[in-house]
Amino acid sequence: MVVLYQVIKSIQRTQWQWALDNQKSALEHSNESIHLLNEVLKEKTTLTKDEVQSIKSLSTSIIDIHGRLKSNKPLSYQSKIQWLSSNLNGVLYPPVDQLPPLNECISRRIQLGETEDTTELTLSEAQTKLLSHWEAVSQQNWDVSSSTQSQALSTLYQDFLQDCSFVSAMISLIHHHCNPSSQSSFNILNSIAPHTVSDFYSVVIHFNGEPRMVEVSSKLPHLKDPTQALFIRSKSDPELLWPALVEKAYLKVQGHGYDSKGSNSGMDTFMISGWIPQYVTEEDRVDNQWFQSLKKDFENDKIVLNLGTGSQLEKDTRFHASHDYSVVDFKDDELILRNPWGGESQYHTVKIHDIFASFKTLYLNWNPQGLTMETLHFIWSHKDSRNLQFHQYPQFKIENSTGINQDVIVLLERHIGFTNSNINVLVCESTSGEILFSRGKLLNPNFVKANNTRFHYSKFNMKAQTCATVIVLNDAPELQNFTLRTYTAAKSTNITKSKHIYQHIKKIHDQWDIETSGGNWTLQSYLKNPQFEIYVLPSTTGSELTNVQIHLSSKENTMVNFQLFFKDSNQLTAKTMMGSLITNKYQTGSNFSVTTLTCGQSYILIPSTYDRDTHSDFSLSFISDSPLQIVKSYTRLGLYTSKISMTWPNNTTRMKYKFKVPFQTKLNIHLWSQTDNMMTVSSYTPQIRASLFYMETAEPILINTEFDDDLFGIWLNDVVITKCQYTVVILIERFEIGGGLILGDIGSDYRIKEL
């Protein structure tokens, strides 16, 4: 006999194969799902109302999936991560919102010969020695609102199993629910099905970005000593065991079986209920006003609280190290705590101002009831976060399209199954939620603190009709899956992946090498740096100006900067260096600037390191609202370059450099003075000039009458040598007598012969 359970499992396998991009296998499973659903309809002569609703939902789902598979359409990116994150330790945990409830026939699983994941949870070696047998849960009282059930739940405790964080979370949640004045709709019993005797139970556990279905058998491990238990139980009703089934599902997801490795009650409260976790420590410097606000939220069912001690306790001997405690009441200036351990005094009080003298962390879990949640899954794919530039971190746009200011909670979740790493979230002011190249004004300054748990909580107030950019920081050296959630009171707050603010994007990759590492703009060698000519194409909108973002990035420890100049017919000089359109300071690893350029105008951009002879790769990014043409300027003087190095003779203002060329050619000559090893704008530079003539005939080739003391020297461009049978003389003159060197480069199409 075919039951809906089989149909559901077949659809799950279809989704899983689809997420793996295995279209053929996914299509086979979808055909199987359709066949099984038809068999259900044939065999069922009468259908309950719930069954009819389930069949309608399943039919709609599988027809849509089958049609998209036949059209060879891929699964959406978000759905793909959603399903890929379902596989944990070889077990598939599907999102519960993808499928109808499993109350129908889940108890008949054992009759269907299902063998998938029927093994029991592992025990430690010590636990195995104490084990007597595994025993199925018998009839339970499923009415959580009954007085006997409430009494039994109020005495839940932790016994032999080391999972104080889970038990503390359960106590806090159940205390919240059993509070007669509670207005919350939360009921932990709704997370488990069916509410009857069954061989298997389905429990909803919140992890890896979704509430997910976790199936466990009804068997629990019983110890040889009947006074001890390896699962959560009630002092007043030892037969109350459905909480132990929830615990079993939680332990299954954690991956260590009953050999629990520890957690914290903030994370565990989220896993059980989906309530939003927040961690507060002494470093957060909360005051009495904050605690009074917290008390009000606690009394209004907006929050549950737990406290966790650190690995060492210095003063208060009432509490145990590395242990969690439930907050069950909030009276005036003190908290009433309950120790989840059952073997000792369970209730304690602690003054508000003494909390962090005894405890390391206050765990808050906020009730999401009444809030609108937006979810976005993404993959961290950077293998070396140490060299990441700011814009390379995952960034997301939050938009408040309402007409009111509102509080926004941002929750980052790292999925289970990946190594621990330090995570952090920045929320920065931005124009349109665009990708940011540097940290802007922080909107969440009180929450910018990295932690190595799986969650990071932030909260900020967002103005009406504005956007912000969320930046996720992480030091993981490997691939990780994440989910980013926002919670707001309004329905018009959206979260999407950030884009660049302008549509036109150009990227250039180059390097500073032995010939092109000229150092900063104050050095004589500056013009050796790579140069790029930028031409701003005319705007299609008729605008005369275009907005441009320019970003330069290199090695983390390299001081870098860039300057931008108008391009004209004149050679760049030390004087024109003072007219850079961008005047940033040198910064480590990267530099960023926003500027406005004129359409139809050409510019020269020069990226540089602070120190010369710094060899490094670099990247330039240009983001603009009009297209740019960018070409690297050819700064070599010619195909062949000959070096000049001469010392000024004593008591003379003239010297000559002689050479011959084999063929008619064009020369480009650069000459400069050097009076010390590190020439800068503050160095003395003698005024020089240079002329060319043929030695044998004294015929002038180029005559210069003006002296120039520019730091970068003088250029003689496009000098044509037509009479290659003669010796060419460069006459170099200075305005006054002095010492030092004359250095230079001669570029030509052929090798010249120095005489």
pLDDT tens for 729-743 read 999 999 998 888 899
Which of residues 343, 369, 395 is at a domain's end? 369
Which of residues 495, 528, 545 is at a domain's end? 495
Strands (E), 504-651: 504-512, 532-536, 545-553, 559-566, 587-588, 590-598, 602-609, 616-624, 628-632, 640-647
> Rounded mean pLDDT of 352-357?
90
Tell me, yes or no, whether 168 lies in a domain. yes
Residue 660 structure tokens: 């011959």
Assess whether pLDDT exceeds 70 at residue 182.
no
Q: Residue 406 has what pLDDT?
A: 94
Assess whether pLDDT exceeds 60 at residue 245.
yes
> Rounded mean pLDDT of 542-551?
91
21: containing domain: 4-112
Any idea what the Cα angle at residue 738 is, between residues 736 and 743, rounded to 5°?
Answer: 105
Tell me, yes or no, whether 118 lies in a domain. no
Query: Which of 29, 105, 164, 400 does the annotation list as catalytic?
Result: 164
Tell me, yes or no, whether 354 lies in a domain. yes
Query: In 3D, which of 527, 548, 532, 666 has the Cα closest to residue 599?
Result: 548
Residues 214 and 227 in one domain: yes
Residues 474 and 546 in one domain: no
Query: In 3D, which of 670, 706, 700, 712 has the Cα closest to residue 688?
Result: 706
323 part of the active site: yes
> Rounded mean pLDDT of 225-245?
92
Tell me, yes or no, whether 313 lies in a domain. yes
Q: Are 131 and 123 in contact (CB under 8 A)?
A: yes
Query: In 3D, which of 30, 21, 109 has the Cα closest to residue 67?
Result: 30
Query: In 3D, which of 528, 746, 713, 754 has the Cα closest to residue 643?
Result: 746
Q: How many domains does the chain have?
A: 5
Residues 488 and 517 in one domain: no
Alpha-carbon gap, residue 161 to 257, rounded angstroms:
11
Give the mean pLDDT of the chain: 88
pLDDT band at 619 (very low <50, low <70, confident <90, very high): very high
Query: In 3D, which of 437, 494, 432 has the Cα closest to residue 469?
Result: 432
Tell me, yes or no, whether 117 lies in a domain. no
Tell me, yes or no, whether 424 lies in a domain. yes
CATH number of 561's domain: 2.60.120.380
Residues 338 and 382 in one domain: no
> Rounded mean pLDDT of 683-707?
92
Alpha-carbon gap, residue 520 to 562, rounded angstroms:
9
Torsion of CA 252, 255, 259, 260, to 10 degrees: -90
Assess whether pLDDT exceeds 90 at residue 142.
no
Assess whether pLDDT exceeds 60 at residue 117.
no
User: pLDDT, tens digit, for every residue of 503-535?
Assistant: 999 999 999 998 899 999 888 888 889 999 999
Residues 396 and 419 in one domain: yes
Query: Which of 208, 339, 481, 529 does the annotation list as catalytic?
Result: 339
Residues 194 and 328 in one domain: yes
pLDDT band at 568 (very low <50, low <70, confident <90, very high): confident
Assess whether pLDDT exceeds 60 at residue 116.
no
Query: Which of 29, 177, 206, 323 does the annotation list as catalytic?
Result: 323
Residues 249 and 143 in one domain: yes
Residues 190 and 141 in one domain: yes
Tell me, yes or no, whether 157 lies in a domain. yes
User: pLDDT, tens digit, for every residue of 155-171?
Assistant: 999 999 999 999 999 99
288 part of the active site: no
- SS3 labels along 263-312: CCHHHHHHHHHCCEEEEEEHHHCCCHHHHHHHHHHHHCCCEEEEEECCCC
Which of residues 575, 601, 632 is at a domain's end? 632
Q: Residue 108 has what pLDDT?
A: 40
> Going edge to edge, which strands form the sheet with 347-351?
276-281, 361-366, 303-308, 324-331, 334-338, 347-351
Q: Are 40 and 10 in contact (CB under 8 A)?
A: no
Tell me, yes or no, whether 119 lies in a domain. no
CATH number of 164's domain: 3.90.70.10
**DSSP character at residue 56:** H
Assess whether pLDDT exceeds 60 at residue 107.
no
Assess whether pLDDT exceeds 90 at residue 678.
no
164 part of the active site: yes
pLDDT band at 382 (very low <50, low <70, confident <90, very high): confident
Q: Which letter, b or e, does each residue of 650-670 get, where b requires 16 or more Cβ atoms within 10 Å of its Cβ?
A: eeeeeeebebebeeebebbbb
Q: Residue 105 has what pLDDT?
A: 40
Residues 606 and 690 in one domain: no
Residues 648 and 738 in one domain: yes
Q: Mean pLDDT check: name the lowest of 153-162, 535-544, 656-665.
A: 535-544
Residues 421 and 432 in one domain: yes
Residues 307 and 377 in one domain: no
